[in-house]
Amino acid sequence: MHVTGTTTSSVLDEFASIVGLLLCISVMMSFISIRTESIKWTLLLERMANILFGIAIVGIALILLILLKTFWLE
């Protein structure tokens, strides 16, 4: 599936894939931090998961702004 609706790969498609990967990694880190018994690892994994989640949310917002500019404002 292509975000842009074309069969050729675009920068936006690649960016959407990276954002999806960041979200998956963030979820896995959060899950592992819940399951681990070490306080040190819990804090470290949760901090990294929060950072990746924040970056992914900003990425989603940027994708939406680009799509809005591309399809609605033209």
Residue 74: inside a domain: no
Q: Is residue 4 pLDDT above 80, yes or no?
A: no
Residue 25 sits in which domain range?
12-68
- What's the pLDDT band for 67 if we cut at 50, 70, 90? confident
> Taking the model in full, what pTM does it have?
0.81
Cα→Cα distances 28→4, 32, 39, 50, 72, Å: 28, 6, 17, 12, 35
Least confident of 10-14, 37-41, 60-64: 10-14
Residue 28: inside a domain: yes
Tally the domains of the chain: 1
Residue 23: inside a domain: yes
Q: Is residue 72 pLDDT above 90, yes or no?
A: no
Report pLDDT for 6.
62
Residue 3: inside a domain: no
Residue 56: inside a domain: yes
